[in-house]
Structures are given as C-alpha cells and as structure tokens.
Amino acid sequence: MSGMGRKAIACTTLAIDSYLAGNNAVHEVKRMSDEIRDGYYRLDDLTFEMMLTYQPAAEEFRLIRSSTEISYAFSRLGRYAYDIALVRDRFGDLSGCDKGWLSGVAGEVKVMINDAVYSFAELDAGRAGRIRRREDFVDRMYRERLPVLMRSESTACALAETLVLRYLERLADHAVFMSASVSYIITGMHGPRPTGGAA
C-alpha cells in the first residue's frame, strides 16, 4: 500500500506538471498507472486470502476493507493521471493556451492527493478532514470556469482545459473518498463521501 500510494502521488504529479509545462509524458504516466492497477489486483487477492484464512475481528476487518477501497482509489488516481497525459498527447502543442487559472486548481488537487495518501499511511484524521475543504474549492472553481470556457475563442484550448478540469475534479473526489475510508478505519464511522460519488 505504501508503494502504491507513493506511486499514485508521483503519477498524478507527473501528469499534471507535464500538462502545465507542455511536455508529453503519456508513456511514463501509462507505465506508472499500469503498475498501480496491478498492485490493486494483487492486494485484492491478498485481502481475500486473509479474510478466508484469519477471520479478522471487527477492527481488523475495517482496516482490511478500507485498504481494498483505498487501493482501488489509487488505481483510479493512476487512470485519471493517464487521462490528463492523453490530453496533451492527443491535442499536441497547447503552448498558446492560458494555463494560469488551471494551475491553481491543479495545485489544490496535488495537495489533496498527498494528504489522502499520507492520512492513510499515518491514520491521521486531521489531515483527512482538511481534504473536504479543499474539494469545495475545486468544485467551485470547476463550476465557475466552465461558462468562461464556453466563450473561448480557441476550441482546442477550451476542450483541453475542460477535459483536464474534469479529470482534476475526479481526482479530488477520489481523495475525499480515501479520507472517508480513513475515518472509517479510525472511528468505525464513514466520513463524508464526495458529492458526485467517486467512480
């Protein structure tokens, strides 16, 4: 799980930073995303084996169940990172697009992912709680920016930014989903889930 978490941070950071800088990192992001997904499948098999073999107590069951949910979230982070990298790969040179506004949202999402990974690694409820407040910001910026993009003079820039904004919003949702799972491990009660539902 620790390795998957670190790779999820690295994968999403590479995808976001490469898009903002105008670099094509699609192959490296795809490789990392596939490794995270393979880790999820291995963990899924392991947790099933543990359930059958050890019949865990309630507290242990919460950790095992949440670990499976969080490892799935890691795999989704990798997938959305790959989607961001694909935008740059398919649209080509987007150096003429203004990415300043997008940079602020991307920075918030990177912090959310980092907090989500380390809130699980350290079972830190405080760090998990901060994620929800950042998600409100990301959702608000997403809603405010879309009408502006509809009036853009550049179809390519508007489409690319709309796609990346959507993927960033989904990354934020998965960070919230992970924080809710951490809350469940610590308290036995689920914290708030993302309003749109992480998928």
Q: How far apart are CA 32 and CA 3, in angstroms?
A: 11
Calculate the average pLDDT of the chain. Answer: 88
pLDDT at 61: 73
The pLDDT confidence band at residue 190, using thresholds 50, 70 and 90, is low
From 74, 70, 69, 60, select the one nearest 188 (Cα to Cα).
60
Answer yes or no: are the C-beta atoms of 14 and 28 closer than 8 Å.
yes
Q: Domains of the chain (ranges plus CATH)?
A: 2-187 (1.20.58.220)
Summarize the confidence of residues 105-127 as an average pLDDT.
90
Determine if the pTM surpasses 0.75.
Answer: yes
From 122, 195, 143, 171, select the one nearest 8 (Cα to Cα).
171
The pLDDT confidence band at residue 154, using thresholds 50, 70 and 90, is very high
